[in-house]
Each structure stands twice: as C-alpha cells, then as structure tokens.
Amino acid sequence: MNFTLNVLGTASALPTTERYPSAQVLDVRGRLFMIDCGEGAQMQMRKAGISFLKIEHICISHIHGDHIFGIFGLLSTMAMLGRTAPLNIYAPGSFKPVLQFFLTNFGEGFLYEVNMTELKMTAPELIYENRRTELLAFPLNHRVEAFGFIIREKMPQHNVYKEAIAKYNLSIAEIGTLKRGEDVVRKEGDETVVIPNSEAAYIPYAPRSYAYCSDTAPFPELADWVRGVTLLYHEATFPAEMSEMAAKTFHSTTLQAAQTALEAGVGRLLVGHYSSRFTSVDFFLDELRSIFPATDLARDMDVVEI
C-alpha cells in the first residue's frame, strides 16, 4: 500500500547544479498527487520513472516562479502523450489567468480537461476526497497568497477476527456493526450481552498523513493545523543565523521549522527549499535536530516511504 513521496526539487528561487526548484509527487496507493511544479519538474519525473499520465492532481502553493515555471511544459507533454483523463489543479486565484493564458495560446488540440479549484480558505478545508484519501488545503504566511496541503488516508474499516465470528456466532449484520467500529449489543432473554469491538475486531493499519508547508514564515496556527501528521515537509530556506533575512522574505529558518514540528507533535520532519547561497546544507541538520531529532534533509530525487 504505497504512501511514497518523490522529492523532485529542493531549491528556493534559483536552481543550482545540484538542486531543481520545488516539485514533489506523492503516490497514495497508486494515485499520484503532484505538489508544486518548478522548472525542470518533468525532467526529474522522467529520471524517477514517474508516469505523466498517472498524475491526477496538481497542488500549487503559490505563483512564485520557482513553484510553477515547470507546469507549462508538463501540461504540454501530457497532451502530446495523448492524455484523455481530466486533470485537477488546486491553486490560488492568482494562478487562474496564468493557466488561461497557457490554454488559450498552447492548449489547442488538448484531449483532456484541466479543472482548476481556486483556493481561498482561512483554515484547513477539504478540497478533494475519494474512498480512501482526503486532500486539504490551508493558508500559509508568505509575501503573496500561499497555501499548504495535507494528504491523508481515511480511517479504514475494522477487520473482524475470523475466530470471533465462530466464537460469537456473529450474524452478517453484527459483522457490519463491528466493521464500523461499534460494539455488538444482543438481547439474550432478559439479559443484554455486549461483544466489545476491541475483542472482536481490529484496525488493519494506522492511517498515514503528509503535510507540505512551503513557502511560509512561522505563524501561531500552523502547528495546530498539521498536528500529528506522519511526515511534515517544511521549508528551511535559511540557517538560524539568517533569521532577519527569513523574516524579511517571509521564509523560515532551520530552528523555526524544527520548532513547528515539535509543537505539532509530528512523526518526522523533512526540510527543503534551501537558499542557493549554500552549496552544502549539511550543517543545517545539527540545528534542526537540536530541537527536533527526527529530522532529515530532503535531497533531489529522494524517495521517502511514509
């Protein structure tokens, strides 16, 4: 049951020879969610072996170039490959004229629909769901309108122990009750008999979740909004010593990203969106782990199992 993050780019603003701009693809049980689409994203997808035609959803955090300059090429390639399945894009309203310009000038002959959902929420809000997965968006704190995303599995139905079916002679209706997570309550003569769900059924797996927070300066609500996610991706554009630059540009430092992870009680922290000032960001890790030990640095082409 895949819940796999493909990191395609970890640069901020300027690409480098080692880092492409922001782009990620999350594989949730074979359904692909792309988050941001910086320049060169489709080249990284080819290297990673990610199918262009299996991308169902593209989430755009904001319309700074390092997060969207790859989307024209990607959409064109999808068309040239004969895509017919609709594509869903979730983005701030400011992306709408950008998309319309592209479709007007370069969309002739497209065999697939591009459906855009405008993001304008003030707190986490569900923007898409299927039987097993939810996609939420929430506002970030950046120089322009920007949004973060949470992709999470829904709580699965309970499985009923086979031995419990025989032991309690469970009916089909009672099995359904246990699958919903409820206790079975029976009347046996004048007595009420309860078969506890905890004895007869179990949750087959713990739902996994992923939150994406880039670009953003710290703000009080964020920790609550991403509380308890399995993996948090948070920008760490600057080291701690550049806190003034971070504040000026509405970005985060290593310590601020780690503090958010700590306050949110997340399982793991992954950081990226590194300033091009630094050829190596290995020293970031000591700063991050001084506050939140379960932290890793994202690298281009990383594949992270969540």
Does 66 qualify as catalytic in the annotation? yes
Q: Which of 304, 280, 282 is nearest to 18 (CA)?
A: 280
Instruction: Indicate whether 114 pLDDT > 90.
Output: yes
Instruction: Calculate mean pLDDT across residues 84-112.
Output: 97
> What does the pLDDT read at residue 164?
85
> What does the pLDDT read at residue 219?
98
Give how far Cα 291 sits from Cα of 142, 212, 252, 255, Å: 24, 20, 15, 7
Catalytic residue among 66, 215, 224, 296: 66
Tens digit of pLDDT for each residue in 15-73?
999 999 999 999 999 999 999 999 999 999 999 999 999 999 999 999 999 999 999 99
Tens digit of pLDDT for each residue in 189-237?
888 888 889 888 988 888 999 999 999 999 999 999 999 999 999 999 9
All CATH 3.60.15.10 domain ranges in the chain, comma separated: 3-156+205-305
> What does the pLDDT read at residue 194?
86
Hey, which bits of the chain come out as E strands? 3-9, 23-28, 31-37, 55-59, 87-92, 114-119, 125-129, 133-139, 147-153, 159-160, 184-188, 191-195, 201-202, 209-213, 231-235, 268-272, 295-297, 303-305
pTM assigned to the model? 0.92
Based on its alpha-carbon atoms, the radius of gyration of the chain, rounded to whole angstroms, reads 22
Tens digit of pLDDT for each residue in 268-303?
999 999 999 999 999 999 999 999 999 999 999 999
Instruction: Indicate whether 169 pLDDT > 90.
Output: no
> What does the pLDDT read at residue 168?
86
CATH number belonging to domain 3-156+205-305: 3.60.15.10
Distance in angstroms between the alpha carbons of the first and the last residue of the chain: 10
> What does the pLDDT read at residue 193?
83
Tens digit of pLDDT for each residue in 245-256?
999 999 999 999
> What does the pLDDT read at residue 1?
82
